Amino acid sequence: MTDSTIIRFDKVTLQYDGDDAVLSDVSFEIEHGKFYTLLGPSGCGKTTILRLIAGFIQPTQGDIYLSGRRINDVPANKRQVNTVFQDYALFPHLNVYENVAFGLRIKKMKQAAIDAKVKEALRFVNLTGYENREIREMSGGQRQRVAIARAIVNEPEVLLLDEPLSALDLKLRTEMQVELRELQRRLGITFIFVTHDQEEALAMSDEIFVLNQGRIEQSGTPTDIYDEPINRFVADFIGESNILPAVMVRDYLVEFAGREFECVDGGFHPGENVEIVIRPEDLEITAPGEGKLKIRVDSLLFRGVHYEIVGSDEDGNRWLVHSTRKAKVGDEIGLDFEPEAIHIMRFGESEEDFDKRIEEFTEVGDED
């Protein structure tokens, strides 16, 4: 634990009576002032983690620390944490000002202090001048900002955001992503943002925790997780990928699709069964005789920026290619890729062992 650690989960398990554990042995550290995202499919335990941090529920086992202090038994209203809920939970009968002021009135703060704080919070979310508006007169994006203002007016150290953008249409959603990210930087507090949308997570976060069935599969920066997924679940969940069974001939040499390929990963047993990942944008189309593999094109779709080509090699493996070059269905084409494009995943490797191996064995390309 470092000085900048603000939240720590130590082997937290949560179980509702008699049911299977919703969270199993979850441990992580969250640092002050960063943007974190909990990413995972519906039902994996994202909201549960937020509820534990907020203090709405208590762990069945394990400990939760806030700024170094164990808070398992500290009630929600005594924690320096605020939540923005998925449905915003605004009071429809109160105007913007009173929605934001609500918590401060409960704390019996003086009117002049409330005025100053509400004004500041509304300024932060670009809603200055909207004080007297009714909630029903506000758009989706504006309601979202009121909900955020209501949370930050309490000056929390940590802001929890549970899928706050999921109700917005795509354009507004993209705008709000940029806005939220800027807001976090300006406030300088910790945001813990929940989403099931991998693109949103990659675009917004300093750190991502990828969750699956109540466990953290992998944590790291967006590029760590995209470039070096720990296993098939993460590789599949974060972006589109080609995942194939493979055998490590020896370190830095891997066999798949009936051929051997140079790669940049080591730390394996000779002959070890592994899986490899190659991202579709790392594959380049060549003439049939050239390149490292040959595929037959099964389908072609134009995606605006690139063509999405699906084909199969002689071993029957399916390949997904993103390319600005076109190909015809039924054509044979070659595929080329760099050794760095092959990422190797070991079965059942823990995140700790994975990180150690990557650090120790990955060769960093020095040619460019």
Q: Which is nearer to ligand ADP, 45 or 222 (CB)?
A: 45
- Beta-ladder partners of 285: 335
Gyration radius of the chain's alpha carbons = 24
Strand order of the sheet with strand 69-70? Answer: 21-31, 5-15, 61-66, 69-70
Q: Which does 45 bind (CB under 5 to 8 A by kind): Mg ion, ligand ADP, none?
A: ligand ADP
Rounded to the nearest whole angstrom, what is the least distance from the CB of residue 2 to Mg ion in the complex?
29
Q: Which does 22 bind (CB under 5 to 8 A by kind): Mg ion, ligand ADP, none?
A: ligand ADP
Q: Which is nearer to Mg ion, 47 or 177 (CB)?
A: 47
Rounded to the nearest whole angstrom, what is the least distance from the CB of residue 156 to ligand ADP in the complex?
20
Residues in CB range of 90: below 8 A, 6 or more apart: 99, 135, 143, 146, 147, 150
Say how far apart CA 64 and CA 364 lie, in whole Å.
Answer: 38
Rounded to the nearest whole angstrom, what is the least distance from the CB of residue 161 to ligand ADP in the complex?
12
DSSP class of residue 19 equals S
Number of H helices, E strands in the chain: 9, 20
Q: Return the range that interacts with Mg ion (CB under 5 A); candidates 47-55, 171-179, 311-319, 327-335.
A: 47-55
Could you say whether residue 47 binds Mg ion (CB under 5 A)? yes
Binding track over 142-181 against Mg ion, x by CB under 5 A = ----------------------------------------
Rounded to the nearest whole angstrom, what is the least distance from the CB of residue 205 to ligand ADP in the complex?
16
Rounded to the nearest whole angstrom, what is the least distance from the CB of residue 64 to ligand ADP in the complex?
15
Could you say whether residue 24 binds Mg ion (CB under 5 A)? no
> 10 to 29, contacts with ligand ADP by CB under 6 A?
16, 19, 22
Say how far apart CA 9 and CA 49 lie, in whole Å.
Answer: 10
Q: Return the range that interacts with ligand ADP (CB under 6 A); candidates 36-44, 180-188, 271-279, 344-352.
A: 36-44
Binding track over 41-80 against ligand ADP, x by CB under 6 A = -xxxxxxx--------------------------------
Q: Which is nearer to Mg ion, 44 or 114 (CB)?
A: 44
DSSP class of residue 346 equals E
Cα dist. 286→27, 268, 323 in Å? 46, 31, 11
Residue 94, burial from CB neighbour count under 10 angstroms (0-12, 13-18, 19+): middle
Q: What are phi and psi of 66, to 5 degrees?
A: -120, 120
Looking up tokens 């937020």 gives 50
Binding region for ligand ADP (CB under 6 A): 16, 19, 22, 40, 42-48
Binding region for Mg ion (CB under 5 A): 47
